[in-house]
Amino acid sequence: MKLIDILFLPFRFLMSAFSFLVTAIYTFICNLFLSIYKLFTRKKEGKFISFWERQKDHPENLLLLILYVVGIGSILNIFLPKKTTSFTPVSAFSYQDISTIGNDEEGGGEISSQTQIIYESNVDFSSLIAQNQDTIAYLEVSGTNINYPVVQTTNNDYYLNHDFNHNISQRGAIFADYRNRYDTLPRNNIVYGHHRLDNTMFGPLDNLFTEQYYQSNDHQIFFITPSHVYVYQVFSVYEIDPEIYYLTTSFADDSTYLQFLSTLQSRSIYNFGQTLDANSKILTLSTCNNDNTGRLVAHAVLVSEYVI
The full 3-state SS of 203-257, as one line of letters, equals HHHHHHHCHHHHHCCCCEEEEECCCEEEEEEEEEEEEECCCCHHHCCCCCCHHHH
Question: Which residue of the set 288, 303, 306, 308 is catalytic?
Answer: 288
Handedness of CA 225, 168, 202, 142 (dihedral sign): negative
Name 237's bridge partners.
298
288 flagged as catalytic = yes
What is the number of alpha carbons within 13 Å of residue 281 lying toward its C-beta? Answer: 16
Taking CA 144 as the corner, what is the angle to CA 212 and CA 228, rounded to the nearest 5 degrees?
A: 120
Residues annotated as catalytic are 288
